[in-house]
Amino acid sequence: MLPAPTSVTPDAAPQATPAQAPATPAAQTVPAGNVTTPPSPATTADQGAPPQQATAPATTPDTNTPPASTGTSGPAITPPAPAGMPAAGGSDHADAASPPPAPGTEPVQTVHKDGPASTGSSPVPPADALMSDAGAPAALVQDLRPPSVVLDGLFQAIGEAHIYTDAKTAADAIPDEAPADLLAEYNVAKQRPDFSLKDFVARHFTLPERKTVSYQRTPDENVRDYINGMWEVLSRPPDMQVAYSSQLPLPYTYVVPGGRFSELYYWDSYFTMIGLYENQKIDLMRDMVRDMASMIDRYGHIPNGSRTYYLSRSQVPFFSLMVDLLAMHDGQVAYTTFLPELQAEYDYWMDGQDSVPPGGAYRHVVRLPDGTLMNRHWDDLDTPRDESYPQDIATAAQSGRPKGEVYRDLRAGSETGWDFSSRWLADGHTLSTIHTTDLLTVELNCMIPHLEQTLAHAYDLKGNKDAAARYNRLAQERIDAVQRILWDERRAAFIDYDWKKGESTSILSGATVVPLFMQMATPEQAKAVSETVRKNLLKVGGLIATERSGSGQQWDSPNGWAPLQWMAVKGLNQYGYDELASDIAARWMGRVIGTYEKSGVLLEKYDVVNPFISPKGGKGGGEYPMQIGFGWTNGTLLGLMNRYPQNTRVVLDRNPAADQPSPQPLPPMNPYGVQSDNDALSRYSQPTVTLTPRPVAPTPILPQMSTVGASAPSSATQIPPAAPAVNAPSGTPPAAPAAAASTEQHADTPSPAADGQPAQSAQAAQPPAADHAPATETPPAPASVETKSTETPAPPATGGTQGVSEAHDSGTPATKDAPATAQPAQPAPADTHAGSTDKTVTGENPPATH
């Protein structure tokens, strides 16, 4: 675990400017032809120690480039790269069709839905190989800084001029020469009286290949056929590195959400994997988990999406839930194999936990005045998002607040996956009042204890009983905090908590079901939530995201999202509210399948309030148009159809429902009890394709501590007192089978994490002094045409993001007094995107984040 800074300025986080380097590694040497045969993952896991964290380069007040990373392991890191440092990348993030290609760009090539299927886990030369004209691999250096820094000045000018319809297109466009050389040429050219920025961009930038979907539904094709066929359309092969691109190359095949979201996104992927599990596309699901693990190995965490401009933040941590889902097929070897990455993920989210004083915060960690440790969303940069650059500048200009503060809150809002929602807005409806970093969110604070439960289980399998006991204890402490801090008795729901004001936000949202989904609510709380959901969130087409309407944000009423329906159905089932769960599933399937029958596509989100079904899904809202595809809608719909065949048949106007089997629990059920057979063990012992590891968590040198002072709760009575520890976490996984544990060697103790005993004294409840700071060292650092296409300069548009999560089945809900062997919580949802709903896809690419 990396220590927090030695000194901080109260209430002030570093204000980075576009010219400053981001808090991400500057450059990484990527040797060509890096197809290696490393020790098997199982062998690596046996070592037991998490990847060593190196000090990440950081933003400093007197330099425009981050220092080189240092560490005892990993590839050679070059010195700070100038703005022209080449960047690696691959295919584009946008699946929506665009205007005719600009001069010098690739011609449009359509890829039809019935094209070649994904080859699953067959590796190709990984994302670090770029062939020269002579056919020999040429070494590249990956510049991990975002385009807004690498192309300082030029990038801002492109955004201000609205050269592209979608601001994200500028972040994905690939320069034709080293950025430093291009900037020098630009600075000379712009002095000429006849200079045209639009022409300059058309000459010097190429848009990545756009793989969109040209899909025509056959007359007798049902929605299940559509989903099965879309796996091929949405799959992407391992990436080949492209010089100067912002894409982070991945070594294995993966599935993108769809529409404009044509990279791998973090939490979206979990809900997509539900469908892969249902279709038994296990090789592809396993490859996606390996891609996630590869990003943890290289960057110290899983970024929001596989682009350099997403590296300064992550997304709701669903990696442990993905491993649960994989273990349903592969057994316990999945936990021991990915233990190093699970540990590194935890270290990233809990960075600074040992040093944060009561009433203070550092990066993702917040310690309340009574000593309770919680998590918030955070981004290491306080500049406009690259993918929504002009929009963020406009939002900050309207706010009347320090611009850096607004930018960071917008970025943190993107990390939630709910970009954007009235949940994050101080006045409930104006985006410029966003204050995400002030909030302890329900989803995030349920996912952290699940990660702790998973670590406990994995260490138990490795024979490290001390580490297992420690993480079980930490998980229970966090679950107790969720039940105490995030429970709003007045609303009878789990609600986000404003840690600076010391009170609940009182905004009711679909996130109230997440503690049920993760089996972290008490039976009394679950009963109250079921009634609240029925009375306030359930509409004709399913659950609305929040009860707020009129905000113009896409994660508010009247919109419903697939991850929320999935988590609600599974969570209610786990606490015995089967009738309500079935009702939600039926209404959602009726809305999604009814829209499919009108349009022939599945969408990112749906208006669930309107009694009439629109073929376009509804008005949408947010920063970008409706997107089609769509990964998490496809995956969760398939899971619900398989569990509720009677409702499915009624919706599809097929044979009347009769004599159907009883619904089975939604996956995963009991991943800790699945044994690895010989076939699974052999798969994990085979050579794998790896990228040069880079275990670096991007941590800035400038302090990220935020102490609240007088705005913090002034007495312990404003925060319910910490409950005494109980025997075990409500979602603690069952003890690993002796046979599985005996076959594994002991693992080293995980990197230290704060035991976090809450301070119960009156002094701890008081706001910290202005100079109170951690006394430790600075931490380390409607449808769209699946085609190759490019976007010509066009008027501006906007973009956004989304997210969700999931939990475990055990037959009976876990409670506060559950034994230590109680079952863990399950996987969670993913990101969202947008597009149009015509059968032949054409449309714009608005900015967005997942």
Helix-helix angle 631-643:578-599, to 10 degrees: 130
Give dist(CA 729, CA 302) in Å, integer: 26
Give dist(CA 336, CA 721) in Å, integer: 37
Give dist(CA 349, CA 328) in Å, integer: 26
Give dist(CA 295, CA 329) in Å, integer: 23
Q: How far is CA 272 from CA 16, 241, 255, in A?
A: 35, 25, 8
- Start-to-end CA span in the chain (Å): 27
Q: Tell me, what amino acid is at 103?
A: P
Q: Tell me, what amino acid is at 662?
A: S
Residue 786 designated active-site: no
Q: How far is CA 312 from CA 144, 161, 165, 437, 700, in A?
A: 10, 26, 25, 15, 10
Backbone angles phi, psi at 724, to 5 degrees: -65, 150
Parallel/antiparallel/unpaired status of strands 787-788 and 109-112: antiparallel
Give dist(CA 380, CA 162) in Å, integer: 26
Instruction: Verify cis geometry, omega within 30 degrees of 0, for the bond prior to 663.
Output: no
Residues paired with 826 in a beta bridge: none
Give dist(CA 455, CA 363) in Å, integer: 22
Instruction: Verify cis geometry, omega within 30 degrees of 0, for the bond prior to 195.
Output: no
CA atoms within 13 A on the CB side of 278: 25
Residues paired with 539 in a beta bridge: 542
Strands (E), 608-654: none
Give dist(CA 783, CA 233) in Å, integer: 12
Q: How far is CA 210 from CA 10, 100, 101, 106, 490, in A?
A: 46, 12, 11, 10, 49
- Torsion angle in degrees (nearest 10) through CA of 44, 46, 47, 50: 70
Q: Tell me, what amino acid is at 460?
A: D
Q: Which of 95, 387, 604, 844 is the catalytic position?
A: 604
Residue 419 designated active-site: yes
Q: How far is CA 105 from CA 108, 238, 262, 792, in A?
A: 9, 23, 19, 10
Q: Tell me, what amino acid is at 301?
A: H
690, 251 Cβ separation under 8 angstroms: yes
Residues paired with 225 in a beta bridge: none
DSSP tag of 605: E
Parallel/antiparallel/unpaired status of strands 174-175 and 205-206: antiparallel
Burial 602-634 (b: 16+ CB within 10 A, else e): bbbbbbbbeeebbbbbbebbbbbbbbbbbbbbb
Q: Tell me, what amino acid is at 765?
A: A
The phi-psi region of residue 120 (left if phi > 0; otherwise alpha if psi is between -120 and 50; otherwise beta) is: left
Backbone angles phi, psi at 443, to 5 degrees: -60, -50
Residue 176 makes CB contacts below 8 A (sequence gap 6+) with 182, 203, 204, 205, 206
DSSP string, 513-539: GHHHHTT-S-HHHHHHHHHHIIIIIEE
Residues paired with 493 in a beta bridge: 488
**Torsion over CA: 510, 516, 518, 522 (sign):** positive
248, 89 Cβ separation under 8 angstroms: yes
Residues paired with 559 in a beta bridge: 607
Q: Which of 419, 607, 806, 831 is the catalytic position?
A: 419
DSSP tag of 161: T
* Residues designated catalytic: 419, 604
